[in-house]
């Protein structure tokens, strides 16, 4: 029986990438997207890419960042899936390589129990271009899930994970039920269930 569900956020619970949306609003979208493109071809380090992307946000208003975070578009079916899982008494958690400024509003809207992400450092209401938090590295999600399982006394078969990207592989390795949602080919190869329609309600049908 599943007792814990871990969700990725960007392009999973949320329809888009938070860093791209922030960068577009600040006029540096092309620079940030070029880093994403480079990552897919040269396998650059996840930490280095995150730090580089956030550096382009230096000087952006933190108030504006929070406003954008409140309006991030949730994925089609997000409400229905979370409501379904909660009805089964499943504990819901977000693991995001993005930012608390994005996941916090979504957690309230979707009744998510817990979330882990990164903080956009700011001073005098201005982003400094620095970032820090619990999800800075490629293996962060796996390490955090290990801790959660130990704390909640859960076995792998009591955990399901839903994600789409390279940094979700680590949490898949710690999970019993692995669901790839509109994911890259590598993650799909490691999944038990692959959903290729942008509608999270498809997961309800699959499980």
pLDDT beyond 80 at 154:
yes
Q: Which of 41-45, 52-56, 75-79, 124-128 has the lowest mean pLDDT?
A: 41-45
Q: What percentage of residues in the chain have a pLDDT greater than 70? A: 96
Tell me, yes or no, if 113 is annotated catalytic: no
DSSP assigned state of 99: E
Tell me, yes or no, if 10 is annotated catalytic: yes
pLDDT beyond 80 at 206:
yes
pLDDT given for residue 34 in this prediction = 87
Dihedral, CA of residue 83, residue 84, residue 87 and residue 90, to nearest 10: -90
Where is 203: in which H helix or E strand?
helix 201-206
Burial label, 125 (beta-carbon count in 10 A; 0-12, 13-18, 19+): exposed
d(C-alpha 102, C-alpha 57), whole Å: 15
pLDDT given for residue 45 in this prediction = 86
Token pair for residue 129? 């271009």
pLDDT beyond 90 at 202:
yes
pLDDT given for residue 36 in this prediction = 63
Contact of 171 with 142, CB cutoff 8 Å: yes
d(C-alpha 89, C-alpha 185), whole Å: 31
Token pair for residue 151? 């704390």
d(C-alpha 65, C-alpha 35), whole Å: 21
Where is 181: in which H helix or E strand?
strand 177-181
pLDDT in tens, 174-190: 999 999 999 999 999 99
d(C-alpha 77, C-alpha 98), whole Å: 21
pLDDT beyond 70 at 70:
yes
The average pLDDT across 16-29 equals 97
Mean pLDDT of all residues belonging to the chain: 95
Where is 139: in which H helix or E strand?
none
**Among the options 10, 15, 45, 192, which is catalytic?**
10
Closest among 64, 99, 95 to 165, alpha carbons compared: 95
Q: What percentage of residues in the chain have a pLDDT greater than 90? A: 93
pLDDT beyond 70 at 41:
no
Q: Where are the alpha helices (DSSP H) in 43-168?
A: 46-55, 62-70, 78-87, 100-110, 140-152
d(C-alpha 8, C-alpha 160), whole Å: 11
pLDDT beyond 60 at 14:
yes
């Amino acid at each position: 029986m599943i007792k814990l569900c871990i969700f990725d956020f960007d392009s999973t619970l949320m329809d888009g990438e938070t860093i791209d949306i922030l960068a577009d609003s600040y006029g540096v979208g092309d620079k940030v997207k070029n880093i994403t493109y480079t990552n897919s071809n040269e396998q650059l380090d996840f930490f280095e890419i995150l730090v580089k992307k956030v550096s382009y946000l230096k000087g952006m208003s933190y108030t504006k960042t929070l406003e954008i975070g409140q309006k991030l578009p949730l994925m089609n079916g997000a409400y229905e899936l979370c409501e379904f899982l909660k009805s089964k008494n499943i504990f819901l958690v977000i693991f995001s390589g993005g930012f608390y400024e994005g996941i916090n509003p979504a957690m309230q809207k979707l009744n998510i129990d817990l979330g882990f992400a990164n903080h956009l450092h700011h001073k005098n209401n201005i982003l400094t271009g620095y970032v820090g938090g619990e999800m800075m590295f490629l293996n962060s999600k796996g390490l955090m899930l290990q801790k959660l399982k130990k704390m909640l006394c859960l076995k792998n078969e009591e955990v399901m994970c839903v994600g789409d990207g390279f940094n979700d592989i680590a949490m898949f390795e710690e999970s019993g039920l692995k669901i790839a949602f509109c994911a890259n080919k590598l993650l799909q190869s490691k999944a038990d269930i692959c959903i290729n329609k942008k509608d999270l309600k498809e997961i309800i049908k699959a499980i």
